[in-house]
């Protein structure tokens, strides 16, 4: 039966799986599972848990890194130690172990790269690759790379690396409302004016990339349109009354990192990012009223054609939709950090396609 399955993890270790209807599954309950872009199989294996434990027999979920004539499998134990296995044509899985020995003081440890000897023993006819095996590090990328070469050496063609080890990018649209508060500092008339908040519609497109090895983290790129149109409260001098007006529109590029807080179907997240915005248009003026006479002057002497800033947000996401509240701080229109714009956003996003 097909259902929505979610991981229950502690650090990198998979403690179990949970379904949308509240059912929980331990490794012994299933033969395998697919979670998002990642496929898992369940195996009862001999596991080297040094230095925390000796070799023990355990039933675990293993991520499928490659699965053809022989398979490359991976999991992280409850002590946060990574384990890699090669499963042969007969279904026998051999650990590519990294033995960690306590030197006796409980503080320093010795690492024995036994996985190098195991790889040589599993592929005796590929001695030309032994020098590369000796240089192989105990990391997912390095183990995958040497496995691909050894597989090609043995079978004449490289294996298909499981899609679960590739990044996945979602494309979509985002839209919402913004509320900007403008403040000027320094010399001139503008710093004396108190501007009302400006509310406007905003929106654009996004591409969000999720990584199989860190699937609670995503990197999000956005191109959006942003504008504000603010009028100040009347400022009274000894002779005149002054009202300021500032209007601007930008094409923005936002780059942010998102971290999901849970692995449920509705995922709360936090985001932090930077923005770079190009000024599309701007207007500024000061309306000065003296008695019955009124004139308009420039409010700002110089306007810069770009602005940069930072933002943070919180929100929730589902497989298709996300909603976010975001706060942004940018430099505004005036050069030399003589202005500031604080903007709040309420944004909704919809994923259109996945690649």
Helix (H) or strand (E) holding 118: helix 114-122
Does residue 253 contact residue 276 with C-beta atoms inside 8 Å?
yes
Q: pLDDT value at position 90?
A: 87
pLDDT digits (tens, 9 = 90+) for 195-221: 999 999 999 999 998 775 556 788 999
DSSP per-residue string spanning 198-211: EEEEEEEEEEEEEE
Region of poorest pLDDT, from 89-98, 111-120, 263-272: 263-272
Give CA–CA dist 73/86, Å, rounded. 6
| pLDDT exceeds cutoff 70 at 21 | no
Give CA–CA dist 240/2, Å, rounded. 74
Does residue 28 contact residue 59 with C-beta atoms inside 8 Å?
yes
Give CA–CA dist 351/345, Å, rounded. 19
Tell me the three state secondary structure of residue 243: strand
Q: Is 253 exposed, middle or buried (0-12, 13-18, 19+ CB in 10 A)?
A: middle
Total Cβ atoms within 10 A of residue 72? 27
pLDDT digits (tens, 9 = 90+) for 122-162: 999 999 999 999 999 998 889 989 999 999 999 988 887 65
Q: pLDDT value at position 123?
A: 94
Q: What is the pTM of this model?
A: 0.58
| pLDDT exceeds cutoff 90 at 168 | no
Q: pLDDT value at position 12?
A: 58
Candidates 159, 213, 158, 207; CA nearest to 38 is: 213
Q: pLDDT value at position 268?
A: 92
Q: pLDDT value at position 273?
A: 96
Between residues 81 and 201, the one the model is more confident about = 201
Long-range contacts, 9-15 (Cβ 8 Å, 24+): 9/263, 10/78, 11/76, 11/80, 12/76, 12/80, 12/82, 13/75, 13/76, 13/77, 13/78, 13/80, 14/40, 14/60, 14/61, 14/75, 14/76, 15/78
Does residue 93 contact residue 58 with C-beta atoms inside 8 Å?
no
Confidence band, pLDDT 50/70/90 cuts, at residue 329: very high
Give CA–CA dist 209/219, Å, rounded. 5
Confidence band, pLDDT 50/70/90 cuts, at residue 24: low
Q: pLDDT value at position 248?
A: 94
| Per-residue DSSP letter, 161 | B
Confidence band, pLDDT 50/70/90 cuts, at residue 2: very low
Q: pLDDT value at position 1?
A: 39
Between residues 89 and 106, the one the model is more confident about = 89
| CATH 2.40.160.20 intervals, the chain | 167-354
| pLDDT exceeds cutoff 80 at 297 | yes
pLDDT digits (tens, 9 = 90+) for 235-292: 988 788 999 999 999 999 999 999 988 756 678 999 999 999 999 999 999 999 988 8
| pLDDT exceeds cutoff 70 at 16 | no
Helix and strand numbers (H, E) in the chain are: 3, 21
In Å, what is the CA distance from 154 to each residue of 84, 138, 147, 158? 19, 22, 10, 9
Q: Which residue has the tokens 């308009």?
A: 296
For the chain, what's the residue count? 355
CATH code of 167-354, in short, is: 2.40.160.20
Between residues 119 and 54, the one the model is more confident about = 119
């Amino acid at each position: 039966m097909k259902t929505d399955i979610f991981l229950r993890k502690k650090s990198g270790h998979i403690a179990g799986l949970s379904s949308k209807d509240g059912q929980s599954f331990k490794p012994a309950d299933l033969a395998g599972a697919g979670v998002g872009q990642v496929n898992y199989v369940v195996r009862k294996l001999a596991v080297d848990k040094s230095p925390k434990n000796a070799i023990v027999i355990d039933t675990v979920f293993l991520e499928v890194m490659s699965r053809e004539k022989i398979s490359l499998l991976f999991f992280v134990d409850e002590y946060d130690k990574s384990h890699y296995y090669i499963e042969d044509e007969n279904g026998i899985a051999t650990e590519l172990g990294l033995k960690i020995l306590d030197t006796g003081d409980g503080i320093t440890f010795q690492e024995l790269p036994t996985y190098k000897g195991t790889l040589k023993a599993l592929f005796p006819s590929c001695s030309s690759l032994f020098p590369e095996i000796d240089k192989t590090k105990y990391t997912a990328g390095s183990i995958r790379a040497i496995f691909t070469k050894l597989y090609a050496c043995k079978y004449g063609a490289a294996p298909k690396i499981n899609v679960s080890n590739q990044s996945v990018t979602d494309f979509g649209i985002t839209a919402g409302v913004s509320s900007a508060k403008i403040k000027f500092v320094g010399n001139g008339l503008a710093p004396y004016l108190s501007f009302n908040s400006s509310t406007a519609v905003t929106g654009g497109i996004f591409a969000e990339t999720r990584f199989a090895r860190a699937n609670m983290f995503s990197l999000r790129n956005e191109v959006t349109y942003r504008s504000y149109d603010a009028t100040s409260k009347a400022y009274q001098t000894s002779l005149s009354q002054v009202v300021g007006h500032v209007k601007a529109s930008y094409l923005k590029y936002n780059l942010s990192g998102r971290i999901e807080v849970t692995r449920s179907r509705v995922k709360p997240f936090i985001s932090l990012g930077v923005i770079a915005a190009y000024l599309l248009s701007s207007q500024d003026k000061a309306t000065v009223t003296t008695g019955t006479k009124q004139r308009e002057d420039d409010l700002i002497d110089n306007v810069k054609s770009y602005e940069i800033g930072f933002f943070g947000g919180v929100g929730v996401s589902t497989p298709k939709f996300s909603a976010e509240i975001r706060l942004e701080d940018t430099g505004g229109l005036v050069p030399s950090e003589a202005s500031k714009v604080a903007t709040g956003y309420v944004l909704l996003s919809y994923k259109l396609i996945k690649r």
